């Protein structure tokens, strides 16, 4: 029965209405399997797995009808089987997993009666783990994470228990020994380092990776302040694995935890000089050292991201010129190496095409491109962070960087991905340098305008985004280009296929560029015409982050002259409400978002007007205009 239940729960293969229709029958049969005294352990395990799968797909409003019955029997099974757990059976681990999925299938108000008892049972399970290879270890970690997300701040009394387990997993000694032959057994994998081959217990490494991923979830959760007491321990334990040679997944996961921990400290206003910097610099030094040696592209992306978080946590003035230069050299070296790899890979693909035009592009080469692209994107963001916090120092490096990038924009010599990454790096530095880049606008704006006409949607998107952030500099040097940028953006947005999947990001960024030009250069552009065109394209379909940014400037214009932005007979109201509702839903867990705060304030002002309130309610009531999630987010935000 189990394979059929799991297949049934595949959301890509079945409609929600069918899930709702057959849920009572399926869950009823699974319950019978659990409660039947004749069911053996294998049958019970399969039934438990089936319930967990159903809990993930049945809508909460429907699943709550079965919650009490199912959760009660799961508790009974765990209580009766825990004492007999031997470290190899899956009954206890699967029951723990299922309980967490069932808890996640209902609201906290429903789960609250079982919450404390469940957590106490999980604490008992922690003491029942039989060594590093016991599957209960990893199942518990995942279950704690899911239950914590359901309980929110009410989970705080149990956080010490979870942290003890997570940090304990990271402290388990590595199970590594020199291999005497090529034979491996159990959970072992072989790694070659220098002239030696090692047998490594991959199960221990996988548990450590899961522990890091769970730490990351706790550090980035909306109630992450609870983690402040554990930041130092989390960073110190993860720092040990930055250069761990026997698991690339672990080398990838640990820098992410370090970056998130520093971000949490920054959000909670920890002192830079006395607290953040003494912790940050050693971490950054270790990560930079590994970056020079790293071969795994996912690890490079993670390491670069962590360096970016380290730099951001120090803030403006947090780095000396010498420290900033050392960081930039490390990042630039890794970036240059990635670009060279892309160039070589592109040359190899072109050579293959020259030999036989009918030969399909090598799938392996495409995979290599994607991996390098991911690492280069991470490095690009890190360089941007460095530019942002060291603007005066970084200005000295802008000229040689600009010349190098402009030299890259020769499509007859470079591959598309290579050029896109160079454009993205230019965009990132322009955005980070703000007014410091003004003298260079006459150099790179014409280049970006040219790329707006490129056949590649990815290159057009990178170019128009760069023009948008250049407009935000507000510099006088941009004003002569503002009408040309508007023309280019309007041409991109008004193409017949502008909403096709391959063009949607370009279109979203083009509309945002129009809004940015209007916001910063209203003295040289047609405000009414440009604004109406931009609002007519709302809401964005893919780049919601960029729509959030765009609304910061739209709301500023609304605050200056609301009726002007709404247009004659409030013709723009529907599109504005659609876009703002999506942004409010998108920022539900980011209540400090500048765009969100501005939107809530202006919407409250609009709702106070008798001539607008009814129209706003009419837009929100139409399901074809505003979906349920966005409507609920809008209503909740305005009632706060």
* pLDDT at residue 360 greater than cutoff 60: no
Q: What is the pLDDT of residue 343?
A: 67
* pLDDT at residue 248 greater than cutoff 50: yes
Alpha carbon 262 to its chain centroid, in Å, reads: 17
How far apart (Å, rounded) are the C-alpha atoms in residues 478 and 434?
A: 12
Please state the length of the chain: 640
* Alpha-helical segments (H) within 229-320: 231-239, 248-267, 277-293, 297-314
Query: Could you tell me the domains of the chain?
Result: 1-166 (1.25.40), 173-389 (no CATH)
How far apart (Å, rounded) are the C-alpha atoms in residues 517 and 494?
A: 17
Task: For residue 453, name the pLDDT band (cuts at 50, 70, 90).
Answer: very high
Highest mean pLDDT among 108-122, 183-197, 208-222: 108-122
Least-confidence region, from 302-306, 529-533, 589-593: 589-593
Q: What is the pLDDT of residue 357?
A: 47
* pLDDT at residue 354 greater than cutoff 80: no
Residue 299 buriedness (CB in 10 A; 0-12 / 13-18 / 19+) = buried
**CB–CB of 249/265 below 8 Å?**
no
Query: Is the preceding omega at residue 539 within 30 degrees of 0, hence cis?
Result: yes
Q: What is the pLDDT of residue 440?
A: 84
How confident is the model over 369-414, as pLDDT tens digits? Answer: 677 778 888 888 888 888 888 877 777 766 677 666 766 665 445 5
How confident is the model over 472-530, as pLDDT tens digits? Answer: 987 789 999 999 999 999 999 998 899 899 999 999 999 999 999 999 998 988 898 89
Q: What is the pLDDT of residue 503?
A: 93
Least-confidence region, from 421-435, 474-488, 594-608: 421-435
**In the block, residue with structure tokens 């983690």:** 227
**CB–CB of 142/98 below 8 Å?**
no
User: Strand locations in 413-537, DSSP E?
Assistant: none
CA torsion, points 554, 559, 560, 566, in degrees to nearest 10?
60
How confident is the model over 548-592, as pLDDT tens digits? Answer: 999 999 999 999 999 999 999 999 999 999 999 999 999 987 888
Mean pLDDT to the nearest integer, 135-153: 92
- Please state, in angstroms and as integers, the Cα–Cα distance from residue 57 to each residue in 13, 17, 91, 139, 437, following that order: 12, 11, 22, 20, 50
Task: For residue 286, name the pLDDT band (cuts at 50, 70, 90).
Answer: very high
* pLDDT at residue 37 greater than cutoff 90: no
Neighbours of 269 (CB within 10 A): 8
Mean pLDDT to the nearest integer, 243-247: 88
**In the block, residue with structure tokens 């503002």:** 482
How far apart (Å, rounded) are the C-alpha atoms in residues 583 and 586?
A: 5
**In the block, residue with structure tokens 């007859």:** 412
| Phi, psi angle pair for 319, to nearest 5° | -120, 140
- Please state, in angstroms and as integers, the Cα–Cα distance from residue 428 to each residue in 36, 384, 406, 462, following that order: 62, 5, 15, 10
**In the block, residue with structure tokens 């780049």:** 543
Q: What is the pLDDT of residue 363?
A: 47
Q: Does the global pTM surpass 0.85?
A: no
Task: For residue 242, name the pLDDT band (cuts at 50, 70, 90).
Answer: very high
């Amino acid at each position: 029965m189990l394979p059929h239940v799991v297949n049934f729960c595949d959301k890509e293969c079945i409609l929600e209405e069918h899930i709702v229709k057959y849920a009572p029958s399926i869950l009823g049969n699974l319950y019978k399997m659990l409660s039947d005294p004749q069911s053996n352990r294998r049958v019970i395990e399969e039934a438990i797995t089936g319930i967990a799968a159903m809990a993930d797909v049945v809508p909460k409003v429907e699943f709550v009808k079965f919650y009490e019955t199912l959760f009660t029997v799961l508790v009974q099974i765990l209580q009766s089987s825990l004492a007999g757990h031997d470290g190899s059976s899956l009954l206890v681990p699967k029951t723990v997993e299922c309980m967490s999925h069932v808890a996640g299938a209902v609201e906290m108000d429903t789960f609250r009666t079982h919450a404390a008892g469940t957590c106490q049972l999980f604490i008992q399970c922690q003491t029942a783990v039989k060594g590093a290879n016991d599957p209960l270890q990893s199942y518990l970690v995942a279950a704690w994470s899911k239950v914590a997300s359901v309980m929110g701040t009410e989970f705080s009394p149990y956080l010490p228990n979870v942290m003890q387990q997570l940090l304990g997993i990271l402290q388990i000694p590595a199970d590594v020994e020199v291999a005497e032959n090529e034979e491996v057994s159990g959970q072992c994998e072989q790694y070659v380092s220098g002239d030696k081959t090692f047998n490594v217990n991959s199960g221990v490494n996988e548990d450590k990776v899961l522990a890091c991923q769970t730490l990351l979830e706790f550090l980035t959760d909306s109630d992450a302040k609870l983690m402040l007491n554990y930041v130092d321990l989390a960073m110190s334990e993860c720092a040990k694995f930055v250069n761990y040679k026997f698991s690339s997944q672990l080398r990838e996961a640990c820098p992410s935890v370090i970056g998130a921990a520093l971000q949490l400290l920054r959000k909670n206003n920890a002192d830079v000089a006395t607290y953040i910097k003494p912790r940050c610099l050693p971490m950054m030094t270790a990560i930079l050292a590994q970056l020079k040696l790293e071969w795994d592209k996912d690890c490079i992306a993670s390491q670069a991201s962590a360096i970016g978080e380290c730099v951001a946590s120090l803030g403006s003035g947090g780095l000396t010129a010498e420290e900033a230069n050392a960081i930039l050299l490390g990042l630039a070296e890794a970036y240059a190496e990635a670009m060279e790899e892309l160039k070589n890979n592109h040359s190899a693909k072109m050579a293959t095409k020259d030999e036989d035009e009918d030969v399909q592009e090598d799938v392996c080469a495409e995979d290599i491109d994607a991996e390098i692209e991911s690492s280069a994107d991470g490095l690009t963001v890190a360089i941007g962070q460095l530019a942002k916090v060291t603007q005066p120092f970084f200005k000295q490096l802008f000229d040689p960087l600009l010349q190098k990038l402009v030299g890259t924009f020769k499509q007859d010599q470079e591959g598309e991905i290579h050029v896109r990454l160079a454009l993205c790096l230019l965009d990132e530095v322009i955005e980070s340098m703000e007014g410091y880049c003004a003298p260079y606008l006459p150099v790179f704006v014409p280049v970006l305008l040219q790329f707006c006409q490129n056949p590649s949607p990815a290159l057009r998107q990178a170019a128009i985004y760069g023009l948008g952030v250049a407009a935000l500099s507000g510099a006088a040097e941009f004003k002569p280009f503002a009408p040309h940028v508007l023309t280019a953006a309007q041409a991109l947005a008004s193409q017949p296929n502008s909403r096709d999947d391959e063009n949607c990001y370009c279109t979203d960024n083009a509309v945002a560029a129009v809004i940015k030009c209007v916001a910063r250069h209203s003295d040289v552009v047609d405000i009414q015409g440009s604004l109406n065109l931009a609002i007519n394209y709302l809401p964005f379909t893919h780049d919601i982050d960029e729509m959030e940014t765009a609304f910061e400037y739209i709301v500023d214009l609304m605050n200056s002259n609301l009726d002007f932005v709404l247009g004659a007979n409030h013709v723009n109201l529907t599109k504005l409400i659609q876009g703002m509702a999506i942004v409010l839903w998108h920022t539900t867990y980011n209540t400090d978002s500048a765009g969100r705060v501005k939107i809530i304030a202006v919407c409250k002002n609009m709702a106070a007007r008798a001539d607008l309130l009814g129209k706003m309610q009419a837009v929100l009531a139409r399901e074809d205009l505003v979906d349920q999630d966005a409507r609920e987010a809008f209503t909740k935000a305005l009632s706060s």
